[in-house]
Amino acid sequence: MKKATDILSGEHKQILKLIDLLCVRCNELEKEVEIDKEFFQKVIIFIKDYADKFHHLKEEDVLFVEFGKNLEDAHCDPTKQMLYEHEQGRNFVVGMEESLKEENKDKLIENACNYAELLRDHIFKEDNIFYPMINEVISSDTQNKILSKFKQVEEKIGLKKRKELMNIIKELGIE
Ligand SMILES: [Fe+2]
Ligand SMILES: [Fe+2]
């Protein structure tokens, strides 16, 4: 049976590819004078619309909510910590946006690296600890309910935005 978390783990792979590329470009930027604004703007769009809306909203508005209804069967509840980490990620993205406006290279690298480190650790915890725990406590009916709600989240984002994201993924070479 297809699990809702399989979809999310697939999205994690896409996010990790972006993060790998971001770290490579930050290492290069250390030795450069000019910031490649176009590249970093694309990264910010990807993080805000793909990692945060397309992916995190499925967790926050659907998966974590359904898990919350089955807490009596779970041995702990990592939801709060996961939500806190999503929020930390958003703050690093604000920092990246500010750095681009200020043309502040060091601040940009610092925020991008902090984001990368946070998300790698966050994704590892979800894939290896939290998602398996969720799959243990939710029923197959709930799995199906979550899958159809995921579709609603994607539809809410809209076809135009999804196409724009697919183009950015192609342009960044992280397909
Ligand atoms: Fe998450
Ligand atoms: Fe996630």
CATH number, residue 153: 1.20.120.520
The two three-digit tokens of residue 43, written as one number = 């990264």
64: domain range?
4-172
Instruction: Determine the Cα–Cα distance for residues 131 and 125; give it in Å rounded to an integer.
Output: 8
Ligand 1 centroid to residue 60 C-alpha, Å: 8
Contact yes or no for 84/96 (Cβ under 8 A): no
Q: Where are the alpha helices (DSSP H) in the chain?
A: 4-31, 37-45, 57-58, 64-68, 79-102, 105-125, 131-137, 140-157, 159-172
The SS3 assignment for 104 reads coil
Give residue 2's pLDDT. 85
For residue 83, what are its two tokens? 């939500």
- Output the pLDDT for position 141: 96
How many angstroms is it from 72 CA to the middle of ligand 2? 23
User: Per residue in 75-126, pLDDT tens?
Assistant: 999 999 999 999 999 999 999 999 999 999 999 999 999 999 999 999 999 9
Please say whether the beta carbons of 126 and 4 come within 8 A. no
Ligand nearest to the CA of 15: 2
Q: Please give the tally of structural domains in the chain.
A: 1
